[in-house]
Amino acid sequence: MPLNRRDLLRGAAAAGALGVAWPLSGGLTLAQAEEAAFALGASWDEAPFTVGVASGDPLPESVVLWTRLAPQPLAEEQPLPDTVEVEWVVATDSAFRRRVAHGTAPATAALGHSVHIAVTGLEPARRYYYRFRALGRTSRTGRTRTAPDGHVRRVRFASANCQAFHDGFYAAHRGIAQEDLDFVVHLGDYIYEHGQVGGDHVRDHEGPAVTTLPAYRRRHALYKSDPSLRAAHAAHPWFITWDDHEVVNDYSGTTPGLRARRDAGYQSWFEHMPVRPDHPTTPQVYRQRSWGDLLDLSILDLRQYRSAQNLPGGTILGGTQKAWLKDRISHAGDAWHCWVNSIMLSQLAKPGGGYYFTDQWDGFLAERREVLTHVHDTGMPDLVVITGDWHSAFVDDIRPDFDNPDAPVIGTEFTAHSISSGAYSPEWNAANGPVMGGANPHLKYFEGNRYGYDVYEVTPRRWSTHMRVIGDRRDPNSPVSTLTTFHVDRGKAGSHEDRGTRTSPAQYRRDR
């Protein structure tokens, strides 16, 4: 019977092979950390490009190329000179006969020997191949794509979120790597900072163990030891935002006393992500991107600037980002408007009053109403919000006032399954799906027993969300299938489940 990584770890600990419950935290020797990682199925690319290659943030003429030199990926200090020159090359063919750009960049110890190349002068809507060379070695080849400009008839992209390494293998990323996609969006919880393995529920938290820059680096390198994650990065460019576990559970970036830990989490995140190299230690995560005239992306940062939850004047966006988002709403053109949103926007009220979780937008009621009322008042059409965090799939109608079921529908939120992070039990889901549906008339669909990712297929007339699920997160080669598909028609707010998949398993459906 296949085991997930947590079971493997427990088995090894019981057999006396490992002395501690979650041996990838700080305080271990390199040999101990490697022993634990290999027990969990870790493998890396050939040194020094152990953690792979990636590309991201495509613009019509530019894309970011990333790698990190880490000959000993779990070591706190890499056995490298302070600065290593890294050559990079971009070609239009995978054999690198037609080279269109190349250069060198310094990988420095100060930034974990990572490199971020913002390549410019590329052609729009074009596939490219890239690779790196350093210390006499060549990296694997990555494949990427620039954004189109002008008229676009179709875009196909995927979202991933919540990939707790100890909860399962990344069969879902293997699926993403094999999909025909223009790009991938990551919605956060790329790593988990957890110190120890705990219970089986979504929101269990054990001691905070990863707090320093070397420890966060080790954690990121561990996550990249899953070959399916590296394959998904090498296959497509990614747009990336973050959620809380890149630093610590349910944190606010403005929490006093968290500064040093936050800085360490942010810097190590930058060092491992294909993001623009403009702000390495305090990354600028929120931004606007587009895919021609078809898709307008507002990538949100719901962590760095937020206040505490449940305050009368609380903010999840922070003043500057809120003004930016409202300005984008005011000047929205004719396109699908997609908010890349790490945590649930729609209300999720409990039957007797109150909310399930106020770390999500439910803890920032006045600001949510202000932003959504602005969407309504400006008449911005065709809003689709894509969300992670919950480890279960939801489809919601978005209303400016969720307490008023007669308020107009102004958009749709698709909350995706997690890649691997543990969801609630099937028993909890079966009992609570109908309860959540009953207490939230805007909630259309809930499915919490599966893991996977969403694929969005968007044309000028229709947005389709395909929920891709894996059979078993304990199996790295688990096959991918489509659980169901919902669509939104252009100019008509509200989603509909495709006829062919309406009888698929789910714990709640509003419309039958």
Q: Which is nearer to Fe ion, 225 or 418 (CB)?
A: 418
Report in angstroms how near the CB of residue 189 gets to Fe ion at its nearest: 4
Stretch that binds Fe ion, among 103-111, 157-165, 404-412, 477-485 (CB under 5 A): 157-165
Query: Does 226 interact with Fe ion (rule: CB under 5 A)?
Result: no
Dist. CA 430–CA 186, nearest whole Å: 28
User: CA 351, 354, 167: angle at the middle one, nearest 5?
Assistant: 85
Report in angstroms how near the CB of residue 162 gets to Fe ion at its nearest: 3
Q: Which is nearer to Fe ion, 33 or 345 (CB)?
A: 345
Q: What are phi and psi of 113, to 5 degrees?
A: 55, 35
Q: Which is nearer to Fe ion, 189 or 396 (CB)?
A: 189
Report in angstroms how near the CB of residue 117 gets to Fe ion at its nearest: 30
Dist. CA 335–CA 458, nearest whole Å: 11
Binding residue for Fe ion (CB under 5 A) from 4, 421, 432, 478? 421
Report in angstroms how near the CB of residue 300 gets to Fe ion at its nearest: 16
Stretch that binds Fe ion, among 122-130, 392-400, 414-422, 503-511 (CB under 5 A): 414-422
Cα–Cα nearest to 107, from 81, 142, 128: 81
Mind spelling out the 3-state secondary structure of 51-95?
Answer: CCEEEECCCCCCEEEEEECCCCCCCCCCCCCCEEEEEEEEECCCC
Q: Which is nearer to Fe ion, 203 or 492 (CB)?
A: 203
Q: Which is nearer to Fe ion, 189 or 362 (CB)?
A: 189
CB neighbour class for 500 (10 Å; exposed up to 12, middle 13-18, buried from 19):
exposed
The residues near 120 (Cβ < 8 Å, ≥ 6 apart) are 61, 62
Report in angstroms how near the CB of residue 3 gets to Fe ion at its nearest: 22
Stretch that binds Fe ion, among 36-44, 161-169, 221-229, 366-374 (CB under 5 A): 161-169
Half-sphere exposure of 158 (CA within 13 A, CB side): 28
Q: Which is nearer to Fe ion, 193 or 271 (CB)?
A: 193
Query: Does 162 interact with Fe ion (rule: CB under 5 A)?
Result: yes
The H or E element containing residue 413 is strand 411-415
Dist. CA 445–CA 458, nearest whole Å: 21
Dist. CA 359–CA 251, nearest whole Å: 9
Dist. CA 142–CA 82, nearest whole Å: 26
Report in angstroms how near the CB of residue 133 gets to Fe ion at its nearest: 36
Q: Which is nearer to Fe ion, 189 or 246 (CB)?
A: 189
Q: Which is nearer to Fe ion, 192 or 286 (CB)?
A: 192
Report in angstroms how near the CB of residue 421 gets to Fe ion at its nearest: 5
At 10 the three-state DSSP class reads: helix
| Site track 373-412 with Fe ion (rule: CB under 5 A), x = hit | ----------------------------------------
| Site track 181-210 with Fe ion (rule: CB under 5 A), x = hit | --------x---------------------
Q: Which is nearer to Fe ion, 243 or 497 (CB)?
A: 243
CB 153 within 8 A of CB 294: yes
Report in angstroms how near the CB of residue 381 gets to Fe ion at its nearest: 31
Report in angstroms how near the CB of residue 315 gets to Fe ion at its nearest: 22
Dist. CA 282–CA 303, nearest whole Å: 12
Report in angstroms how near the CB of residue 506 gets to Fe ion at its nearest: 21
Dist. CA 153–CA 133, nearest whole Å: 37
Half-sphere exposure of 147 (CA within 13 A, CB side): 25
Q: Which is nearer to Fe ion, 72 or 304 (CB)?
A: 304
Cα–Cα nearest to 230, from 67, 6, 111, 118: 67
Dist. CA 141–CA 52, nearest whole Å: 9
Q: Which is nearer to Fe ion, 141 or 249 (CB)?
A: 249
Report in angstroms how near the CB of residue 203 gets to Fe ion at its nearest: 9
Q: What are the angstrom distances between the C-alpha of 198 and each of 75, 205, 210, 472?
A: 25, 7, 15, 20
Report in angstroms how near the CB of residue 99 gets to Fe ion at its nearest: 41
Restricting to residues 257-316, name those near Fe ion by CB under 5 A.
none
Number of residues that bind Fe ion (CB under 5 A): 3
CB 247 within 8 A of CB 220: no
Cα–Cα nearest to 243, from 216, 265, 212, 214: 265
Q: Which is nearer to Fe ion, 268 or 421 (CB)?
A: 421
Interface residues with Fe ion (CB under 5 A) are 162, 189, 421
